[in-house]
Amino acid sequence: MVLAVFAGWERHLIKRGRDPLVRLVVLRDRRIGVGSLTLVMLFLVPSGMLFLVPVFLQTTAGFDALRSGITLISMPVALSVGASMTARLVGSGRMTHRTAQLWAFSLMTAGCVAVAVMFGPRWDLSAVGLALTPGLLLVGFGRGMATTANDLVQSAAPPEEVSDVTGLSRTATYLGSSFGVALAGAFMTTTLLLAFEAGVKDSTVLSSAQRQRVVQAVEHQVQVTAATDDAVRARLASQGVTGAAADELVRVNAEARGRALAVAALGMGVLAVVGFLLALGLPRGPATPAGPATPAGPAVPTARPPA
């Protein structure tokens, strides 16, 4: 909605002969228009995963901030390797920007699915950090392969439009990072709320009155977020809920939390597929310098007429 209003305002400025913040005409170039949308998705997916994985590690696996950070190291390492390798391949002409982005989204999709499978209390939590590594490596390597997207977008601009396209590409990366965290959080909290309510209603341990009271409390909750089992138990104890009822609610919350995180991670995978479909619209051939072409053929020697 905000972006639509912004685009309308920019058109209004152009019609009145004033200088807009971004000349929207640059979006007519497929490398810039599609490439900018691709940039949004390339930052959106990893940002969402970087939000979800620490939430899982700290609420379900019981990791502290340091151990969570160590678990996540595999992602930036893979990113560096992927970026270096792809830059060499694209620079030497052995891989096009389009191919790099398609591989990037494919790897990130696989990584999101691999991580989603590990979200849940049924796994051995003592080894869960190591078990997450394959998925994190895939997401990180895919993100690294995507680093050439900036070059694709910015190299497409003629000299007089470089500032517009540079600002546009930077905005796309910021939007992607912001939307990634926001969407991951929205997927998680919505699923957590629905799964917790369903678990409470299906519980055979809680009485009918207890189930009704919990559901009403959840429906009127202003903020719902993932919490550790200890935090949930302490909250229940502060409200006078103990014993079997407290144990049951902690169990229901743990299952709902695992399902919510898994659904959110799969949601990031779906968005990676959307990015893959967007990347299909990128030019197939290698990037060409922007600006009008200046044909320059080989020098043809001319015979000098005899004196």
Q: What is the pLDDT of residues 68-108, one digit of tens each?
A: 899 999 999 999 999 999 999 988 889 988 899 999 999 99
Question: What is the pLDDT at residue 12?
Answer: 52
pLDDT at 273 over 90: yes
Does pLDDT of 3 surpass 60?
no
pLDDT the model gives residue 14: 58
- Looking at residue 79, its pLDDT comes to 95
| pLDDT over 80 (residue 163) | no
What pLDDT does residue 137 have?
Answer: 96
Which of 131-135, 193-197, 259-263 has the weakest average pLDDT?
A: 193-197
Q: What is the mean pLDDT of residues 34-45?
A: 88
Residue 295 pLDDT greater than 50, yes or no = no
What pTM was computed for the model?
Answer: 0.80
**High-pLDDT (> 90) share of the chain, %:** 32
Q: Mean pLDDT across the stretch 284-307?
A: 46
Q: What is the mean pLDDT of residues 231-260?
A: 86
**To which CATH superfamily is domain 27-180+265-279 assigned?**
MFS general substrate transporter like domains (1.20.1250.20)
The three-state (H, E, C) secondary structure of the chain, written as one string? CHHHHHHHHHHHHHHCCCCCCCCHHHHHCHHHHHHHHHHHHHHHHHHHHHHHHHHHHHHCCCCCHHHHHHHHCHHHHHHHHHHHHHHHHHHCCCCCHHHHHHHHHHHHHHHHHHHHHHCCCCCCHHHHHHHCHHHHHHHHHHHHHHHHHHHHHHHCCCHHHHHHHHHHHHHHHHHHHHHHHHHHHHHHHHHHHHHHHHHHHHCCCCCHHHHHHHHHHHHCCCCCCCCCHHHHHHHHHHCCCCHHHHHHHHHHHHHHHHHHHHHHHHHHHHHHHHHHHHHCCCCCCCCCCCCCCCCCCCCCCCCCCCC
pLDDT over 60 (residue 1): no
Over residues 266-271, the mean pLDDT reads: 96
pLDDT band at residue 270 under the 50/70/90 scheme = very high
